[in-house]
């Protein structure tokens, strides 16, 4: 109460500005007040338009959440395929709408569990999937024509997609009916998350092959999820997240067009994935700017004619990096506010983080609270009643235009370098992010940014219960793989891996031999090793 009284406006009616600097979490200066001048250059029909109308600044659907609330999709995966299968069933029983698979690091890096670098990593930050056999267990009792599934996998995305298609086949669900998303965004791996295997150019070729395969065979599948989430987690600003993500999107479209595909055949199935960080209005502005830039880019730069090619549809995840290990229950509040920004920004699907994730993988209790947070926003706050409620706010519109301009400036720089692959090879986005991350850390340490419970309002606390993954998961997984190798048709596996190498050396779509090798129960490590043999492995120069 004392604090509130202290903040009462002074006699002249002007509040003292002592708590500054007044900047967003990205360091963007914010004015004390915004007014009509700030939106003077905006033209409603040209720059905003109603939801469902080009350039979709206000949302991609006319009715937005009145028509359909966002998909509540909680990212989950840990331990063995059987353990994660149980967590999936739990989430679906408690009102989750779709599945989202987190894979462990050996899977993400295309290594079998018995590889020396897999030490301690099996089943730790996701589920261990080494072959089609594990994928069958993962979706046991979950009919694939009943759910949509998102898979966070990039370098070995083609193999995991093949496993999913084959599980569908075994369940009697044809690939034409499978619905979901595969992340398959390799560019942001080079830029931020660093889970790459092959060098950038052959990596891009796999993505183009996958997009082509899905375009021809899987009309309900989102072929890629072009992701800013990890760019932001690595420390970028909001505008960098937006700029690098959309410029990655341009790169994929350009490579597909260069490979002879008609833009309107594949662009409607491209999807995006953004972070919801803690700076409320900046995040909302970011999503609105994203839609406007993408619509104009697709129409003007690529000549797309299908309105579905113009629409930027996106998934949102609250910022893992904003969670604190200190006073972890506070993270419930952070996540709720971040999720609200995602919803006010018009997201199509949402993952809310669990409060214990700065410490370990989430417990079932923490996961339930995270899902309930979304349900409270959807059913109790009233924010779903009308589309884009913040449109016309002097501040939000001004911020939207500013972030858009900053992103377009990055486009010009990256275009001048010869595109995103070339910019990555020069280390440009990597350096920009590294610098922003360092500046933010310095601001925190100077208390230029207060993080509650970390650099202010600190107190003694007791540890919270966390989820433990037993080391036995690794041994069991290695034993399962050994048993699989003893029973499969070894000659068929060898032949399939040889055809995969042939395709990699030539121009044939690698999806075809990957499907055959997967059907023969070749392991993920074996398939990736075959490609390592042809393409080599990428190593980033260790610069800091």
List of residues contacting other proteins (CB under 8 A): 105-106, 108-109, 111, 116-121, 124-125, 189, 193-196, 233-235, 321, 323-326, 358-361, 434, 437-438, 441, 445, 451, 453-455, 463, 466, 468-469, 471, 539-544
Q: Taking a C-beta distance cutoff of 8 angstroms, is the pair 511, 184 a contact?
A: no
402/435 with CB nearer other proteins: 435
- State the minimum distance, in angstroms, from the CB of residue 272 to other proteins: 21
Cβ neighbours for 338, distance < 8 A, ≥ 6 positions apart = 276, 277, 278, 283, 318, 319, 322
Q: Which residues pair with 152 in a beta bridge?
A: 102
- State the minimum distance, in angstroms, from the CB of residue 153 to other proteins: 14
- State the minimum distance, in angstroms, from the CB of residue 54 to other proteins: 37
119/483 with CB nearer other proteins: 119
What is the widest separation between alpha-carbon atoms in the chain?
A: 87
The position carrying tokens 């190498």 is 501
Tell me the two tokens of residue 514.
């990957």
| CA atoms of 414 and 42, how far apart (whole Å) | 27
209/233 with CB nearer other proteins: 233
- State the minimum distance, in angstroms, from the CB of residue 321 to other proteins: 8
Cβ neighbours for 352, distance < 8 A, ≥ 6 positions apart = 74, 317, 318, 335, 336, 339, 370, 371, 373, 374
- State the minimum distance, in angstroms, from the CB of residue 445 to other proteins: 5
117/416 with CB nearer other proteins: 117
How far lies 329's CA from each of 43, 183, 326, 368, 511, in Å? 44, 30, 9, 14, 45
399/473 with CB nearer other proteins: 473
- State the minimum distance, in angstroms, from the CB of residue 442 to other proteins: 8
Cβ neighbours for 350, distance < 8 A, ≥ 6 positions apart = 70, 71, 72, 73, 315, 316, 317, 339, 342, 343, 374
194/505 with CB nearer other proteins: 194
3-state secondary structure 395-455: HHHHHHHHHHHHHHHHHHHHHHHCCHHHHHHCCHHHHHHHHHHHHHHHHHHCCCCCCECCC
- State the minimum distance, in angstroms, from the CB of residue 342 to other proteins: 22
| CA atoms of 235 and 496, how far apart (whole Å) | 41
DSSP letter, residue 80:
S
Cβ neighbours for 537, distance < 8 A, ≥ 6 positions apart = 197, 198, 199
The position carrying tokens 């924010």 is 383
451/512 with CB nearer other proteins: 451
124/247 with CB nearer other proteins: 124
- State the minimum distance, in angstroms, from the CB of residue 365 to other proteins: 16
Tell me the two tokens of residue 180.
């979901």
125/257 with CB nearer other proteins: 125
- State the minimum distance, in angstroms, from the CB of residue 282 to other proteins: 20
Q: Taking a C-beta distance cutoff of 8 angstroms, is the pair 226, 271 a contact?
A: yes
- State the minimum distance, in angstroms, from the CB of residue 359 to other proteins: 5
- State the minimum distance, in angstroms, from the CB of residue 156 to other proteins: 12
Q: What is the dihedral of CA 517, 523, 525, 529, to 10 degrees?
A: -30
44/468 with CB nearer other proteins: 468
46/194 with CB nearer other proteins: 194
- Please report which residue ranges of 52-142 form alpha helices under DSSP H: 81-93, 105-108, 132-138
184/285 with CB nearer other proteins: 184
324/393 with CB nearer other proteins: 324
- State the minimum distance, in angstroms, from the CB of residue 480 to other proteins: 19
Counting other chains too, the contacts that 402-408 makes at CB distance below 8 Å and 24 or more residues apart are 402/28, 402/285, 403/238, 403/239, 403/242, 403/282, 403/285, 403/286, 403/289, 404/289, 404/292, 404/293, 406/239, 406/242, 406/243, 407/239, 407/242, 407/243, 407/246, 407/289, 407/293, 408/243, 408/293
| CA atoms of 443 and 436, how far apart (whole Å) | 11
- State the minimum distance, in angstroms, from the CB of residue 109 to other proteins: 5
What is the H or E stretch that residue 167 is in?
helix 157-171
């Amino acid at each position: 109460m004392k604090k509130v009284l202290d903040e009462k406006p002074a006699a002249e009616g002007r509040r003292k500005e002592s708590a500054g600097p007044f900047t967003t979490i990205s360091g963007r200066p914010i004015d004390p007040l915004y007014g009509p001048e700030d939106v003077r250059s905006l033209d409603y029909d040209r720059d905003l338009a109603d939801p469902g109308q080009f350039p979709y600044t206000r949302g991609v659907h006319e009715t937005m959440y009145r028509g359909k609330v966002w998909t509540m999709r909680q990212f989950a995966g840990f331990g063995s395929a059987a353990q994660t299968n149980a967590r999936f069933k739990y989430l679906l029983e408690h009102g989750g709408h779709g599945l989202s698979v987190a894979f462990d690091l050996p899977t993400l890096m295309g290594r079998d569990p018995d590889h020396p670098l897999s030490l301690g990593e099996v089943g730790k930050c996701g589920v261990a999937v080494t072959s089609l056999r594990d994928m069958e267990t993962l979706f046991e009792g979950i009919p694939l024509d009943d759910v949509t599934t998102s898979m966070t996998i990039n370098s070995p995305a083609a193999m995991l997609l093949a496993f999913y298609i084959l599980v569908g086949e075994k369940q009697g669900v044809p690939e034409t009916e499978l619905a979901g998303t595969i992340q398959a965004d390799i560019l942001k791996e080079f830029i931020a998350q660093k889970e790459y295997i092959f060098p950038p150019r052959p990596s891009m070729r796999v993505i183009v092959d996958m997009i082509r395969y899905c375009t021809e065979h899987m009309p309900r599948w989102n072929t890629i999820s072009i992701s800013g989430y990890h760019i932001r987690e690595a420390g970028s600003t909001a505008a960098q997240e937006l700029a690098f993500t959309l410029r990655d999107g341009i790169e994929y479209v350009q490579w597909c067009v260069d490979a002879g595909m008609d833009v309107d055949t594949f662009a409607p199935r491209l999807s995006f994935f953004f972070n919801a960080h803690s700076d409320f209005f900046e995040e909302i502005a970011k999503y609105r700017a994203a839609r406007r830039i993408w619509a104009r880019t697709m129409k003007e730069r690529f000549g797309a004619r299908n309105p579905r090619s113009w629409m930027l549809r996106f998934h949102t995840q609250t910022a893992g990096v904003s969670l604190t290990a200190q006073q972890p229950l506070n993270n419930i509040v952070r996540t709720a506010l971040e999720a609200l920004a995602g919803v006010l920004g018009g997201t199509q699907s949402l993952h809310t983080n669990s409060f214990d994730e700065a410490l370990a993988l989430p417990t079932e209790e923490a996961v339930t609270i995270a899902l309930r947070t979304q349900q409270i926003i959807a059913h109790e706050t009233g924010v779903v009643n009308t589309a884009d409620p913040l449109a016309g706010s002097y501040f939000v519109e001004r911020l939207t235009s500013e972030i858009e301009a900053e992103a377009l400036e990055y486009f010009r720089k990256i275009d001048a370098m010869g595109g995103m692959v070339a910019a990555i090879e020069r280390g440009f986005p990597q350096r920009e992010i590294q610098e922003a991350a360092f500046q933010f850390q310095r601001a925190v340490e100077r208390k230029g940014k207060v993080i509650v419970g970390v650099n202010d309002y600190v107190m003694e606390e007791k540890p919270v219960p966390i989820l433990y993954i037993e080391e036995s998961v690794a041994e069991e997984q290695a034993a399962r793989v050994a048993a699989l190798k003893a029973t499969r048709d070894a000659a068929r596996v060898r032949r399939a891996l040889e055809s995969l190498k042939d395709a990699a050396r030539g121009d044939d779509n690698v999806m075809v031999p990957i499907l055959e090798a997967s059907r023969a129960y070749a392991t993920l490590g074996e398939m990736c090793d075959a490609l390592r043999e042809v393409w080599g492995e990428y190593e980033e120069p260790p610069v800091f």
